[in-house]
C-alpha cells in the first residue's frame, strides 16, 4: 500500500507544472547562465573547476526547494483533514512519514540529476570522488530542509505559508553564499545562516573548505567541523520548533 501511495503522490506532484519548473528547470537555468556560459568556468577550483563549483551550488538550491515544499505541504495536508482520511486506511503515521520522505528525496534528486548531467556536457570537471560525494551530500543534506518546510506548514497552516517558506530560500541562498561569493562582514554573517553549512558541506569534496571571496581570490581553508556544526545546529532548531508546533496544535484540538 505504501508503494501505491508513493506513486499517487509522485503523480500528483508531477502534475503541478509550476512547482516542477521552480524545483528543476529554474536551478538548471541558473547553472547555465552563471556557470556554463561564463568565460571563467574552466578556471581551477579545488579538485575541479568553477563550473563544477557553481553546478554543486545550483543543485543544492534546487534540492532544498523540493524538500521544503513537500515537507510544508505534508503538514498542511494533515491539518486540513487528509490525516483523518488516511486514518481509515492501513497506513500508519510512520508509513506516512516514510512515504513523504521518499517523495521528497525523489523530487530532490530531480534537480541534482538534471544539473549534474548538464554539468557533464557543459565543461564541469573534477575528480570522480568529488562528483559522487558532492551529489550524496546535496541529497542527504536537503532532508534537513523538509523539516524547515514542515515547520512553516505547522506554524501557518496554509499553502501560502508553504510558498513563503520556499520563497524565503532565495534570501537564505544569497545569505548562505550560494548565489554569489561573499567576503568580509557578509561572509561572517553567512556562517550563521541555515543554507551556509549545507552548501559548504556539498562543496567540501571539491574545495576541501577553501572559499572564494567576492573578487575571486581564494580564502584560507575552513575546517570541516564549521559547516557540520552549522547544519547540525539548524537541524536541531528546526526539529525542536516543529515538535513544539505539533504539541501546540494538539493542545488546540
CB atoms closer than 10 angstroms to residue 220 = 7
Helix residue ranges per DSSP H, the chain = 2-14, 17-20, 26-31, 50-77, 83-86, 93-121, 128-142, 144-156, 159-175, 184-190, 194-207, 225-252
Instruction: Write out pLDDT tens, residues 190-214.
Output: 999 999 999 999 999 999 998 877 6
- Residue 57 · residue 33 · CB < 8 Å: no
pLDDT at 252 over 60: no
* Rounded Cα–Cα distance for residues 37 and 28 (Å): 12
- Residue 89 · residue 4 · CB < 8 Å: no
- Name the grid cell of 1: 500500500
- Residue 203 · residue 221 · CB < 8 Å: no
Residue 220 Rama label (left phi>0; alpha psi -120 to 50; beta): beta
- Name the grid cell of 142: 536537503
Strand partners, 49: 44
Instruction: Write out pLDDT tens, residues 214-250.
Output: 666 778 889 999 999 999 999 999 988 888 877 775 5
What number of CA atoms fall less than 13 Å from residue 179's CA on the CB side?
Answer: 11
1 compared with 71, residue with greater pLDDT: 71
pLDDT at 53 over 80: yes
CB atoms closer than 10 angstroms to residue 210 = 15
The whole-number pLDDT of residue 87 equals 59
* Rounded Cα–Cα distance for residues 120 and 23 (Å): 20
The average confidence (pLDDT) of the chain is 84
Cα angle 86, 238, 81 (rounded to 5 degrees) comes to 20
Our CA dihedral for 130, 134, 137, 143, rounded to 10 degrees, sits at -170
Amino acid at each position: 500500500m505504501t508503494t501505491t501511495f508513493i506513486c499517487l503522490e509522485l503523480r500528483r506532484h508531477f502534475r503541478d507544472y509550476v512547482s516542477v519548473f521552480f524545483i528543476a528547470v529554474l536551478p538548471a537555468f541558473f547553472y547555465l547562465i552563471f556557470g556554463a556560459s561564463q568565460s571563467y568556468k574552466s578556471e581551477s577550483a579545488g579538485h575541479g573547476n568553477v563550473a563544477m563549483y557553481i553546478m554543486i551550488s545550483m543543485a543544492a538550491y534546487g534540492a532544498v526547494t523540493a524538500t521544503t515544499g513537500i515537507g510544508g505541504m505534508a503538514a498542511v495536508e494533515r491539518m486540513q483533514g487528509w490525516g483523518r482520511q488516511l486514518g481509515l486506511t492501513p497506513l500508519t503515521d510512520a508509513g506516512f512519514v516514510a512515504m513523504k520522505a521518499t517523495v521528497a528525496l525523489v523530487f530532490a534528486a530531480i534537480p541534482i540529476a538534471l544539473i549534474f548531467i548538464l554539468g557533464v556536457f557543459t565543461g564541469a570537471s573534477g575528480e570522480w570522488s568529488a562528483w559522487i560525494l558532492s551529489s550524496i551530500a546535496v541529497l542527504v543534506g536537503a532532508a534537513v530542509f523538509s523539516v524547515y518546510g514542515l515547520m512553516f506548514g505547522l506554524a501557518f497552516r496554509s499553502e501560502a505559508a508553504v510558498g513563503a517558506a520556499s520563497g524565503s530560500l532565495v534570501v537564505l541562498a544569497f545569505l548562505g553564499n550560494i548565489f554569489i561569493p561573499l567576503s568580509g562582514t557578509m561572509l561572517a554573517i553567512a556562517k550563521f545562516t541555515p543554507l551556509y553549512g549545507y552548501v559548504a558541506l556539498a562543496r567540501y569534496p571539491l574545495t576541501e573548505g577553501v572559499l572564494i571571496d567576492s573578487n575571486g581570490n581564494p580564502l584560507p581553508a575552513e575546517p570541516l567541523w564549521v559547516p557540520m556544526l552549522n547544519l547540525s545546529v539548524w537541524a536541531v532548531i528546526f526539529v525542536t520548533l516543529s515538535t513544539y508546533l505539533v504539541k501546540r496544535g494538539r493542545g488546540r484540538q
